[in-house]
Amino acid sequence: MSLFSAISVSASGMEAQRVRAELIAGNLANADTTRTPDGGPYRRRDAVFTTAPVEGSFADNLAAAGVRVASISVDASDPERRYLPGHPDADKDGYVAFPKIHPPEEMVDLMGASRGYEANVAAIATVKDMIGRALDLFK
Amino acid sequence: MRIDSFGAIPAVTDSLRPSGGGFAEAIRDAIDRVDNAQAGAQSAAADLLVNGRGDVHTVALAAQSAELSLELFQQVRNKFVSAYQEIMKMPM
Amino acid sequence: MHVDLGAYLSYLTRRQEVVASNIANADTPGYKTHDVGMPGDFSTAFAQFTALPEETPGLVSRNDGNNVSIDRESRLLAENDIRFNLATQLLRGEIRTYKMAIEEGRDS
């Protein structure tokens, strides 16, 4: 790996955190969605990260460990049930199934994704700076 | 502790060390080494550009070292040539 | 002790690459922080630094097994950058010195 593929690694980190942030945004937007096209309430989504080699790395160098979203996990547990008899989506017992999403937790998660994203941005800026200084050696 | 990344430009200084092979041979040897240094620097640069292999700083240092070797060689050669010319001017 | 700045730059480069990997994988379940071991000395000219990254001891793992500390990695990011800057400046000084020495001999 060289400094150039370090940039690819950081870019992969940015992409993964971005996907994660988008899913969280979707969770927040749908925190009260009781009816989806597939039927049933919205189910919380999360990104599953996995280490992934970055293209361009060579066998003779150390493997460039980037990251990618391996899959998007969908919450399969039973939804929250709240007693709201007048609700259009209430079942025969008067309960409505709500997404298992808690906005404060999602916000904390979002802050984590944002921090991770920014750290990758900082890494790219720093590595770019180092490459620039190495290029100065040609002068 | 010394910081000395170029090792006194070995391409030239090694060949000019007295080794009993005669002056012409020493110069030929120096030319070869300078040539190799240049070729090495160029292939390192090509490897980096084409294959993405290697580091910028390594290629830069190889290029600088090769250029310094060449400049040093040229200066030394010029000195020897002018010394030779001086000698040839001497009345016998 | 003879310090080869080119080898030092290679060490810093490898180290920074691993920091980038750590940062990218800061939220990957099970990922462990890696670092590049400092070599015993930097006296080999233009050594291609090939030490494999090792797992860094002494870091706390979270529930998902990940032990990356973004604080630590951010600090290393800045440190490596500063050291790289220092080393390249010193190298440029060396190159300048050699050039001057060679040119000085020209007219004498």
Give how far C98 is from chain B: nearest CA, Å: 7
Give the pLDDT confidence score for residue B9 in this predicted structure: 57
**Number of residues in chain B:** 92
Give the closest of C52, C77, C85 to A133, CB-based.
C85
Give the closest of C24, C27, C29 to A10, CB-based.
C24
B74 Cβ contact partners less than 8 Å away, ≥ 6 residues apart: none
Q: Tell which of B6, B67, B78, B79 to mutate to test the C interface (max C CBs under 10 Å).
A: B6
CA distances from A100 to A75, A105, C52 (A): 8, 11, 44
The SS3 call for residue A65 is strand
Give how far B89 is from chain A: nearest CA, Å: 41
Total domains in chain C come to: 1
Tell whether B70 lies on the interface with C, counting CB pairs under 8 A: no
Q: Tell me which residue of A11, A102, A101 sits closest to A54, measured CA to CA.
A: A11
Neighbours of C25 (CB within 10 A): 28
Reported confidence tier of residue A44, pLDDT bands at 50, 70, 90? very high
Containing structural domain, residue C12: 5-107
Total domains in chain A come to: 1
> For tokens 């259009």, what's the residue?
A88
Residue C58 burial by Cβ neighbours in a 10 Å radius (0-12, 13-18, 19+): exposed
Containing structural domain, residue A26: 3-136
- Locate all alpha helices (DSSP H) within chain C, ordered by sequence: 5-24, 70-107
Instruction: Report the b/e string of B38-63 with b at 16+ CB within 10 A.
Output: beebeebbeebeeeeebbbbbbbbbb
The answer to pTM > 0.90 is no
Q: Which two tokens stand for residue C100?
A: 């001057």
Residue predicted with more confidence, A111 or B83:
A111
Instruction: Check: CB of residue A43 under 8 Å from CB of residue A15.
Output: no
Which residues on A lie below 8 Å from C20 (Cβ)?
6-7, 9-10, 13, 123, 127
Q: Tell me which residue of B69, C85, B29 sits closest to A134, measured CA to CA.
A: C85
Question: Contact B1/C10, CB-based, under 8 Å?
Answer: no
Give the pLDDT confidence score for residue C63 in this predicted structure: 92
Q: Tell me which residue of A45, A7, A29, A22 sits closest to A125, measured CA to CA.
A: A7
CA distances from A109 to A112, B9, C29 (A): 5, 56, 15
Which chain A residues in 32-71 lie under 8 Å from chain C, judged by CB atoms?
Answer: 48-51, 62, 64-67
Q: Evaluate if residue A73 carries a pLDDT over 50.
A: yes
Which residues on B lie below 8 Å from C88 (Cβ)?
57
Give the H or E element holding residue A80: strand A80-83
- Antiparallel, parallel or unpaired: β C2-3 and B2-3: parallel
Looking at residues B46-67, what average pLDDT do you find?
90
**C45-98 pLDDT, tens per residue?**
444 555 667 788 888 999 999 999 999 999 999 999 999 999 999 999 999 998
Least-confidence region, from A52-56, A76-80, B48-52: A52-56
Which chain A residues in 80-139 lie under 8 Å from chain C, judged by CB atoms?
Answer: 112-113, 115-116, 119-120, 122-123, 126-127, 129-130, 133-134, 136-137, 139
What average pLDDT does the structure give for chain A? 91
Give the closest of B1, B55, B57 to C3, CB-based.
B1
Encoded amino acid at C18, one letter: V
Which residues on B lie below 8 Å from C98 (Cβ)?
6, 9, 68
ipTM for the predicted complex comes to: 0.89
Reduced DSSP (H G I as helix, E B as strand, rest coil) percent helix, strand, coil of chain B, to 5 = 75, 0, 25
Reported confidence tier of residue A56, pLDDT bands at 50, 70, 90? low
CA distances from C29 to A47, A68, A70, A134, C108 (A): 11, 12, 11, 35, 68
**Number of residues in chain A:** 139
**Chain C touching partners, 3 or more CB pairs below 8 A:** A, B
Give the pLDDT confidence score for residue A107 in this predicted structure: 97
Angle at B24 between CA B20 and CA B27, to 5 degrees: 95
